[in-house]
Structure 1
Amino acid sequence: MSKFVDTLRATGTGGRDKGFITGEPHAPLRRTWAEVHVTATELAGGLVAGGLRPGTAVAVLAADPAVIAPAVQAVWLAGGSVTMLHQPTPRTDLGEWAQDTLKVLGMIEAGLVLLGSPFDALSGVLDEHGITYRKLTDLAGEPLSEPVHVDEDATALLQLTSGSTADPKAVRITHRNLMANMTAMITASKFDFEADTMVSWLPLFHDMGMVGFLTLPMTFGIELVKVSPVEFLGGPLLWFDLISRYHGTVTAAPNFAYAIAGRRLSSVEDDGKYDLSRLRIALNGAEPIDSAAVKSFTDAGARFGMNPGCVLCAYGMAETTLGVSFAAPGDGLAVDVIDADELEAGKRAVPATDGRTRSFPLLGYPLPGLEIKIVDENGDVRGDREVGLIMLRGESVTPGYLTVNGPVSTQDEHGWLDTGDEGYLIDGQVVVCGRRKDVIIMGGRNIYPTDIERAATSVDGVRAGNAVAVRLDAGTRRERFAVALESNRANDPEAVKVIKDEVAAKVVDAAGVRPYAVIVLPPGNLPKTPSGKLRRAAAGEQVARMLAKD
């Protein structure tokens, strides 16, 4: 039996009173992990009695974390693998979403789909295409007395990635990968299973939500408060209300959420509204970290007792199960300020003395069990503060992808993963500059789009986290870039002109280059992944089409 399933079962039968709370803010419900395990054994019994064979890919589509937790545990107890299907957003075309879902089910060769509210209506589409499904409300059977045997290299999770094309891709995460990465994150975060309480609104179809804020606390028995992204977006201050009322110590979110949180917290008039003094980790990961957004968050949180050292900058990806590197708990945000000209022309991170600068957050040391190296275009290892491609190796690195064209390995012949990210090391600490494929090359300079995007979002009227810099005529002598952004003032021609002029000026000041075009769009028009991150490649295609019409 895999160590992961053994640990999951031991937590469920160990008699500890830790559990998780769902249903906030309207109908909170707390169940212990032991109670979740009892339900999981009944669902697992139903799966096995229904003919589920070891190794079967099981897709799960449900909204309520209280339903999802025992369902995914049941799949693992029954020997299957879990795929959390992407859920539609309010702006999603449901017809396209259904077709994309069918494509994913074909790619993973799903043997079964588990449906929960409010997605029962998909059953008609599944019937039409001959796809086997069961409703979670009808699944329970005789409790499974012993988990179905699986080995360490069996697939535990097929994590869907959020690519920029219509073709889906899933990272194959094994039981060994999952246990190795969770254990490493627990060590790096200095978890106290008795004292820590985790609070999260992250979607469970995203790796940070699924691995970090469901599977990990369920496996090791850590108190968890879990709400849906819909609840957070409907009222972001709910996040801090939950941290306050449940004495939350650990939370996590992408950078854009901290930018929103900083603004909302600063508008609260009552200094006694929240108690954030127990928050020891507010992990910032999943997208580039903006130090200005972090500072606005910590400044606003200080009124409510929040220690600025709680911000934990992190680097991660599904290809390493979740985590790659964590800063030390309590250290807070640390920024490396370097010479922009040396970075862009010489690919060296030289500490700045004067002139143009760039700043990048330090993302900590690699998690236990992971090796990291920086290489140049020829594969030669680069030294400290020399920029190159980030390569990773270790037990957390997953074996491969499932794609519509079949399986693809993630590792080279020596076990190294090419992350596709450029960065450098400072005495072993990781710094990420950006995605190699997104780097804008102009006049022999390598310009990272995040610098342009941060400059753009500093302009009044631009929605935080909703600006994207895209390459035009990439790889040619005519390479240029454009900036697309969202604004609530997009329908006011005079306001749009002001925004365009100010964005162009800010970009010139920050990066020393002028955008070929600045495009102002109404909210909701930039392409995003189901978890809310901007899809830069898709945005590039969108911008190119718009410019071609002009």
Structure 2
Amino acid sequence: MSRFSETMYGNALSSRNGMTTGEPYAPVRHSWHQVHQRARRVAGGLASAGVGHGDAVAVLAGAPVEIAPTAQGLWMRGASLTMLHQPTPRTDLRLWAIETASVVGVIEARAVIVADPFMAAAPLLTDLGIQVLTVDQLLAADPIDPVDTGEDDVALLQLTSGSTGSPKAVRITHRNVVSNAEAMFAGANYDLATDVIVSWLPLFHDMGMAGFLAVPMYFGAELVKITPMDFLRDTLLWARLIDKYKGTMTAAPNFAYSLFAKRLRKQAKPGEFDLSSLRWALSGAEQVEPADVEDLCAVGAPFGLRPEAIVPAYGMAETTVAVSFSECGTGLVVDEVDADLLAVLRHAVPAKKGKTRRLACLGPALRGMEVRIVDEDANVVPSRGIGVIQVRGESVTSGYVTVGGFIPAQDEHGWYDTGDLGYLTENGHIVVCGRVKDVIIMAGRNIYPTDIERAAAALTGFDRAARRRFGCMRDTGGRASRWWSSPTPGRTRPRCDGWSTGLPTRCSRRSMFDRERWSWWLPAPSPRRHRANCAARMRSR
């Protein structure tokens, strides 16, 4: 039996902890022992459906109370779990079903398990020749014992972002999960007797599924789990649950903490919630913005939120979940560096005056993880030198399942190229500057899109939440950047919001623009003049 299976089943029998779901309307708590007993029934139903060791199964479900026993039931059968990307109320279900069928084909799934609120998708999948099972059907089966599993059995086939048109799934084994789980709990100083995890993270995302369901289930940790829709409907529910259950640990991407701070400021009264129990609030999955963290700490102070509770972190699906955590109790650590030297010399020189860039330190590598920075020639660079971040360790995936077959993720020495640009500080803490593929190179300078986004967000009349950008080639060989807003309700196409301040304003015919396809809707404060300027630029091409 793999260590993942043996430990999870053992803790299910011995742990007094469990998982609370159904907030805010119908909260119910199931002990991990009860989850395990339901999982044995799911395993029985899977066996009757022909699912066995080594099979892949996709899941389309929304309720954590159903997903938890389904996931464990799959692992009891020695099968792997893939959480499908979920359709929204505005999704064209037929198109979604066709795209999902391609995902199912790539991972060679034996079946798709469906539950509310996605039952409307079941007949569409069946029509495409896919075996569809329901959670209710599986739970009605007789319970069975788990099959034997090995360390290299696949636990998760985690779909990467945008895995529809060209599906790609990260292969995560039992060994990967255990290595990362043990490292994370050590890095977080987790205490099974006192810590309570509160999470709303989506279970189709690696941080939600692996980090905040599989790992708590593995250890038998106390978990309060709601859905992303619960959070979006009522952002302050997050605060209420931390207060109600004396939550000590939580996690979210930067944008969610920013939204949380806005809701606290506008809708909550000081003292309405008690957040003083929170000792570990991880910020990851996207760039950590120091200004947003500082704003959260300022707004959260009247509610008992301690600045030292914030834990900037770094990770990705390819490392199961996490690569690094900031050290417990230190809070946000900002590395302020000379912006020009960062852009031109690709070196992070500490600075307090002049043009600087403030970057969040993301902590040292977790136990069992190695991190290095390499230049374009694959040479390791010293501390504070900018390069591509590479990682190595037992948590790192061996590769991807794709349309073209299996693609290795590691080089011959076990290093995985993250595609992130960054550096290591003198004490070995990771700092991320941006993505290699997103960087705009202009006159020998590295322009990081996150800096442009930050500047654009500060301008009046710009929709921060919908801001998008991409680069295109100039006639002179440089790059320009064009801003787009996502479609607003009622619109069917993106809206062009103009050129980034300080960047070139001509694109060659090789650019990504299609003037027959895109319209030019422009923002305040002077849309008519800006529209004329954009039209003139397009004619000059």
TM over 0.5: yes
SS in structure 2 at match of 1:313: strand
Distance 1:423 1:288 in 2: 12
Distance 1:7 1:164 in 2: 32
Contact 1:462 1:486 in 2 (8 A): no
Q: For residue 79 of structure 2, what is the amino acid of its counterpart?
A: G
Deviation at 1:465, TM superposition (A): 3.8
Name the residue aligned to 1:452. 452
Segment drifting more, 24-33 vs 482-491 = 482-491
Contact 1:461 1:488 in 2 (8 A): no
CA spacing shift, 1:544–1:446, aligned 2, 3 Å? farther
Deviation at 1:292, TM superposition (A): 1.3
Segment drifting more, 46-55 vs 153-162 = 46-55
Contact 2:441 2:478 in 1 (8 A): no
Name the residue aligned to 2:167. 168
Distance 1:33 1:52 in 2: 24
Per-residue CA deviation, residues 353-410 of structure 1 (Å, 9 max, x unaligned), is 5321111100000111011111111111100100011111100000000111111000
SS in structure 1 at match of 2:274: coil
Name the residue aligned to 1:254. 253
Per-residue CA deviation, residues 94-120 of structure 1 (Å, 9 max, x unaligned), is 232212211110010001111111222
**Structure 1 runs not aligned, ≥5 long:** 518-538
Deviation at 1:474, TM superposition (A): 7.5
CA spacing shift, 1:75–1:472, aligned 2, 3 Å? same
Question: After the TM superposition, which residues 378-417 of structure 1 pair with which residues of structure 2 at under 5 Å, given as runs?
Answer: 378-417=377-416
CA spacing shift, 1:169–1:220, aligned 2, 3 Å? same
Deviation at 1:75, TM superposition (A): 0.3
CA spacing shift, 1:25–1:411, aligned 2, 3 Å? same
Contact 1:44 1:77 in 2 (8 A): yes
The count of residues paired between Structure 1 and Structure 2 equals: 513
SS in structure 2 at match of 1:225: strand
Deviation at 1:484, TM superposition (A): 2.3
Distance 2:208 2:268 in 1: 31
Name the residue aligned to 1:530. none
SS in structure 2 at match of 1:365: coil
Question: After the TM superposition, which residues 125-136 of structure 1 pair with which residues of structure 2 at under 5 Å, given as runs?
Answer: 125-136=124-135
SS in structure 2 at match of 1:267: helix
Name the residue aligned to 1:516. 505
Distance 1:417 1:10 in 2: 33
Segment drifting more, 167-176 vs 264-273 = 264-273
CA spacing shift, 1:297–1:514, aligned 2, 3 Å? same
SS in structure 1 at match of 2:109: coil
Contact 2:385 2:423 in 1 (8 A): yes
Distance 2:228 2:89 in 1: 12
Are residue 158 (structure 1) and residue 152 (structure 2) matched? no
Name the residue aligned to 1:470. 470
Question: After the TM superposition, which residues 355-504 of structure 1 pair with which residues of structure 2 at under 5 Å, given as runs?
Answer: 355-426=354-425, 427-473=427-473, 477-485=477-485
Deviation at 1:515, TM superposition (A): 6.3
Distance 1:543 1:330 in 2: 53
Contact 1:170 1:402 in 2 (8 A): yes
Q: For residue 424 of structure 1, what is the amino acid of its counterpart?
A: Y
SS in structure 1 at match of 2:74: helix
Distance 2:218 2:366 in 1: 19
Aligned-residue Cα RMSD (Å) equals: 2.5
**Structure 2 runs not aligned, ≥5 long:** 521-533
SS in structure 1 at match of 2:312: strand
Contact 1:20 1:224 in 2 (8 A): yes
Distance 1:490 1:50 in 2: 44
Per-residue CA deviation, residues 457-480 of structure 1 (Å, 9 max, x unaligned), is 122443444322311128971421
**TM-score of the aligned structures, taking structure 2 as reference length:** 0.90
Distance 2:484 2:406 in 1: 35
Distance 1:490 1:346 in 2: 46
Among all aligned residue pairs of Structure 1 and Structure 2, give the percentage whose two residues are the same amino acid: 49
Name the residue aligned to 1:233. 232
Q: For residue 233 of structure 1, what is the amino acid of its counterpart?
A: L
Deviation at 1:297, TM superposition (A): 1.0
CA spacing shift, 1:282–1:220, aligned 2, 3 Å? same
Distance 1:256 1:440 in 2: 23
Name the residue aligned to 2:319. 320
Name the residue aligned to 1:60. 59
Deviation at 1:488, TM superposition (A): 8.2
Name the residue aligned to 2:289. 290
Contact 2:285 2:316 in 1 (8 A): yes
Q: For residue 226 of structure 1, what is the amino acid of its counterpart?
A: K
Contact 1:263 1:296 in 2 (8 A): no
Name the residue aligned to 2:16. 17
SS in structure 2 at match of 1:275: coil
Contact 1:449 1:468 in 2 (8 A): no
Deviation at 1:144, TM superposition (A): 1.5
Deviation at 1:51, TM superposition (A): 2.2
Per-residue CA deviation, residues 252-299 of structure 1 (Å, 9 max, x unaligned), is 111111111111101235222100000011111001111111111111
Name the residue aligned to 2:351. 352
CA spacing shift, 1:159–1:542, aligned 2, 3 Å? farther
SS in structure 2 at match of 1:367: coil
Name the residue aligned to 1:527. none
Contact 1:461 1:489 in 2 (8 A): no
Distance 1:370 1:331 in 2: 21
Segment drifting more, 453-462 vs 202-211 = 453-462
Question: After the TM superposition, which residues 303-342 of structure 1 pair with which residues of structure 2 at under 5 Å, given as runs?
Answer: 303-342=302-341
Deviation at 1:487, TM superposition (A): 9.9
Name the residue aligned to 1:525. none
Q: For residue 401 of structure 2, what is the amino acid of its counterpart?
A: L
Contact 2:94 2:124 in 1 (8 A): no
Distance 1:235 1:475 in 2: 49
CA spacing shift, 1:335–1:116, aligned 2, 3 Å? same
Q: For residue 458 of structure 1, what is the amino acid of its counterpart?
A: A
Distance 1:269 1:275 in 2: 12
